[in-house]
Structure 1
Amino acid sequence: MPTLLLVRHGRSTANTSGLLAGRTPGVHLDEHGTAQAAALPGRLAPLPLAAAVHSPLERCRQTLAPLAQARPELPLHTEERINECDYGDWTGRKLAELNDEPLMAAVQQHPSAVAFPGGETMRGMQARAVEAVRDWNERIEKEHGADAAYLMCSHGDVIKALVADALGMHLDLFQRVHVEPCSVTVIRYTPLRPFLLRLGDTGDLSSLAPRGEDAGTGVPQAGGGGTAAVGGGA
């Protein structure tokens, strides 16, 4: 079965503004995110890829644009099922404000029970993304062989949910996973079990340096105080 490279989109203007972008249109990569995307082809240069699949949102298309330019032969596909979580009424709000919402405790501790008001459930988000991966695994193997590798560019919570599935973790534990913008997570699927080969690999350890709250957002860094950033953080 194929090897899947999960790429989170590069840092966006919403990430640096401390907003929960969700499916808000017009959210683009910021200057740093654009540089991250520009570096992606070099990071992936040693790897043959059968296809690249992306969420329909602009920030994912922007992240893969340099890769598509560097590899014009690489097939690109849009996949609605790896779209960002539909956060409903939470979409576009400041993360610092959402921390005071009663639902946030469940998002942190019991996400399998969460239904965002006016949006979708976190269980539904995971189910659709896992279904997409299963379908694409079958398609890639049929067209390119069991040793093929392909890429999906998606969003923080979606990728975390896919990692939880691959590890056999309950969704209630997925907030223990963190993936940086433009990081690469690699899962090799086999008939017996998936293997997590890389998790949130950026080739850059600077994000591990203590820095308190993310500058200008009021959002604690990942793992700070035990909380996880909804949407994945910056």
Structure 2
Amino acid sequence: MATVILVRHGRTNANADGILAGRASQVHLDASGCEQATRVAEQLAVVPLVAVVSSPLERCRQTSQIIVEHQAGAPRSEIEPAITECDYGQWQGRRLNELAKESLWSLVQHQPSAAVFPGGESLAAMQARSVAAIRRLDAALEAEHGPGAVWAAVSHGDPIKSVLADALGMHLDLFQRLTVDPGSISIIHYGQQRPQVIRVDMVPGDLSWLRNGLPGTEEEVGGGAGPQTAVETGVHAPRIH
């Protein structure tokens, strides 16, 4: 089968402000997000992609366009509604620190398979449509281009985590154990016998944010803004002379 590279869009203004953007309009890549998307595009430039498939939301379309522009060839570029962000309903547009005080937050963290967002969709429904779309597209591109085909799907934190959980054979209730940062790539090869998860949350660049370890926080709904950069923390890696 073909190989899919799952790309989470670069950081947005909503990510940086701690807001659950959901499917809201006017959510763009911020300066860091554009840099992240460019780094991903440069990383993928050595891979001749047969297609770049994007969520219809603008932050994914921006990321997708940057990836396509860095390709030597001309990969097919298309929009796939089924890999769009979860419909968070009445949670959309609200601050994550406020949502964390609601009773549903605990269910999202510990039993996401039972979580249904008020006025929106369930996480189980989000996983079902995302997984079905990725597997369908992968099979179609393999049939068209052969088993060596590699393609990219540009999507969002929770849909990507749910696709990875399916490929790993994990119950949805365990998907919060996965982290998918903005501007990261994860790689799945759907083999004849079973899926192989080749990479998860691969982010090139600065690791100074790891200097003091990781905080013991719960996973943010929507995937969060990712770790702070060296510029934001004021901590820089030592110079090598």
Verify same fold: TM over 0.5: yes
Q: Which amino acid in structure 1 is aligned with residue 107 of structure 2? A: A
Counterparts in 2 of 1:65-76, with a 5 A limit?
65-71=65-71, 73-76=74-77
Instruction: Give the whole-Å Cα distance in 2 for the aligned partners of 1:206 and 1:198.
Output: 21
What's the CA shift string for 1:142-197, capped at 9, x where partnerless?
A: 11001111000000001000110000000000000001111010011101111111
Gaps of 5+ in 1: 212-222
Name the counterpart of 2:8.
Answer: 8
Instruction: Give the whole-Å Cα distance in 2 for the aligned partners of 1:67 and 1:7.
Output: 10
CA RMSD between the two structures = 1.3
- Deviant stretches of 4+, over 6 Å: none
Name the counterpart of 2:233.
Answer: none
Counterparts in 2 of 1:100-179, with a 5 A limit?
100-179=101-180
Secondary structure in structure 2 of the residue aligned to 1:161: helix
Tell me whether 74-83 or 61-70 shows the greater mean CA deviation.
61-70
Deviation at residue 207 of structure 1 after TM alignment: 4.1
Instruction: Give the whole-Å Cα distance in 1 for the aligned partners of 2:120 and 2:190.
Output: 31
- Cα 1:209–1:85 change in 2 (3 A) is farther
- Cα 1:207–1:183 change in 2 (3 A) is farther
1:231 aligned to which of 213, 219, 222: 222
Counterparts in 2 of 1:27-66, with a 5 A limit?
27-66=27-66
Number of equivalences: 223
Deviation at residue 206 of structure 1 after TM alignment: 3.6
Instruction: Give the whole-Å Cα distance in 1 for the aligned partners of 2:208 and 2:169.
Output: 30
Secondary structure in structure 1 of the residue aligned to 2:120: coil
Instruction: Give the whole-Å Cα distance in 2 for the aligned partners of 1:26 and 1:2.
Output: 34
- Cα 1:149–1:176 change in 2 (3 A) is same
What's the CA shift string for 1:212-234, capped at 9, x where partnerless?
A: xxxxxxxxxxx733410110011
Instruction: Give the whole-Å Cα distance in 2 for the aligned partners of 1:210 and 1:51.
Output: 39
Instruction: Give the whole-Å Cα distance in 2 for the aligned partners of 1:105 and 1:207.
Output: 27
- Cα 1:206–1:79 change in 2 (3 A) is farther
